[in-house]
Amino acid sequence: MSGEPAGEFFGPPPSPPTADPLPSPYPAAEPGRHRGRRLLVVLVAVAVVVVLAVLAGAALLVVNVVQDRTAPNPAVPSTTTAPTPTQTFEPPGDLRLRDDITSITLSWTDPSGGVVPFVVAGGRAGLQLGAMATLDPGRTSWTVNGLNPRVDYCFTVLAVYSTESYATSGQVCTTREPGPSPS
């Protein structure tokens, strides 16, 4: 030996060789990045809930208004809400129907000058009408497709002035000739 005392170490023991750590399959997150995504998800969820609530309210309004028109129900108004002395709610005017056998196009005049939205209600003739579409203000026509050519349909349009104030047009129905019976 070269003058070193036996069994003594000089300095720290050598470190074992280390391998480079495996790269992560996921990129390192940037600070605050997930917080922004969470906020976006929350905002989108809130927007969806608001839109669904508005559509549900409009659908309930239509169902209440267009209940079986042959049997009046005094608990549910079948016409417009009583206007205040300074306010009137005009219904959509001149409701027309164009029957193209498997599709029907409705058109009407807008009494509000493009201010109020509309709800189109329809269904098979003789049955209760239901909400089919909610249209943006200014829209004065709507087409429904995929109809049975041997069935008559009826429609009405509501001008929605507020959740409690609306006006219903008259009702229009198809008058189709009965087709041949299937064999």
- pLDDT per residue, tens digit, the chain (183 aa), is 555 555 555 666 666 666 555 665 555 555 555 666 777 777 777 666 666 666 666 655 555 555 544 444 444 444 555 545 446 789 999 999 999 999 999 999 999 889 999 999 999 999 999 999 999 999 999 999 999 999 999 999 999 998 888 899 999 999 987 655 554
Question: Is pTM, for the whole model, over 0.85?
Answer: no
Nearest to 132 by CA among 35, 59, 46, 68: 59
Cα distance between residue 79 and residue 89, in whole Å: 10
CATH class of 35-183: mainly beta
Residue 164: the pLDDT is 85
Domain ranges of the chain: 35-183
Predicted pLDDT at 166: 86
Instruction: Return d(Cα 89, Cα 78) in angstroms, integer.
Output: 14
